[in-house]
Homo-oligomer: A and B are copies of this chain.
């Protein structure tokens, strides 16, 4: 088990502790004020901020929530925050970028992305939006959009066969990114859910392009625009998922198969993957840029602020 170390990065969405104190909250209309008040009350559960103080120095300890291992010519990147259903914090996005860059260069033939515990990933940690309540909304939203864009660009450019092992339910960006994988295996316990518009948001991860292309616009829009949750089997019938395995045998079957595939000529697999993606790489980068531009405008909208607050409020009452 080899864990990567990573250079200290300034946290984009949690630049300081100001966002947790309501006293410095910027003046604004009532809706946003309520939003700020609400998210401020969530501070205790925001574990992600606790590990990223500015005094931690340039040389960080190993990543806590993104774990990287290599065996049998296969490098695995695992989201490892099971208590939070592998919700992805800003720090984890940075770690994913570093992990993918390392895996792209190591001597493995195949890279696998998966989650630990019951979930594949519950998607973007909504507490990432908390920082939007703090000072410079324009600046923070721009930085957040840049982070998102960098993550997705890294998936687009990944040079080797990239396999998703969807071990359980997937939400939001963990679903949309599946369109950029070369093979997607899923447990029959997995569901795919992209409830963007119930949160006032729009699709990312190049899904606005890849999903209609894979599933047709009529299936893609019900997921991405109307927020329909689908099962792994339904996603498999439409080509988003390669194959579904019974949860009981999921790990064994997936890894048996991948170890076999890893015996193919590694250069042929790498070059073949690039051949499949080459004709749309430029397009994918343009789509990503546009999705991030549109998404940033959404984050700054009243509609989005009200919808996220409503969601978090309902969740807190459960």
Interface residues of A (CB under 8 A from B): 161, 178-184, 196-203, 208-222, 224-227, 237-243, 261, 263-265, 267-269, 271-273, 275-279, 283, 286-287, 290-291, 294, 298, 301, 303-304, 307
Contact = CB atoms under 8 A, between A and B. Distances in A.
Given A200-B268, A203-B275, A272-B224, A214 B214 contact: no
Given A161-B225, A222-B183, A197 B242 contact: no
Contacts of A290: 275, 278-279
- This chain: copies in complex: 3
Nearest to A109: B197
Give the interface centre of A214, A261, A268, A304 by most chain B CB atoms within 10 Å: A268
Q: Chain A contact residues: over half helix, strand or loop, or mixed?
A: helix
A301 B266 CA distance: 12
A197 B160 CA distance: 13
Contacts of A180: 217
A178 to B, nearest CB: 7
B269 A178 contact: no
A240 B220 CA distance: 11
Nearest to A161: B225
A178 B219 CA distance: 12
Contacts of A183: 218, 221-222, 225-226
Nearest to A271: B202
Contacts of A221: 161, 182-183, 273, 276
A202 to B, nearest CB: 4
Given A226-B183, A303-B267, A272 B197 contact: yes
B217 A275 contact: no
B218 A241 contact: yes
Nearest to A273: B225
19 contacts: A180-B217, A181-B217, A183-B221, A200-B265, A202-B271, A203-B275, A215-B216, A218-B240, A218-B241, A219-B239, A220-B276, A221-B276, A225-B269, A225-B276, A226-B264, A227-B261, A267-B301, A268-B298, A279-B286
Contact of A237 (B200, B202, B237, B261): B237
Contacts of A181: 217-218
Give the interface centre of A161, A214, A263, A277 by most chain B CB atoms within 10 Å: A214
Contacts of A201: 268
A209 B217 CA distance: 13
A268 B303 contact: yes
A238 B241 CA distance: 11
Given A182-B225, A279-B283, 13 more contacts: A161-B226, A181-B218, A182-B221, A183-B222, A198-B265, A202-B268, A213-B213, A214-B216, A215-B239, A217-B277, A218-B241, A219-B242, A227-B264
Contacts of A215: 216, 239
Nearest to A278: B290
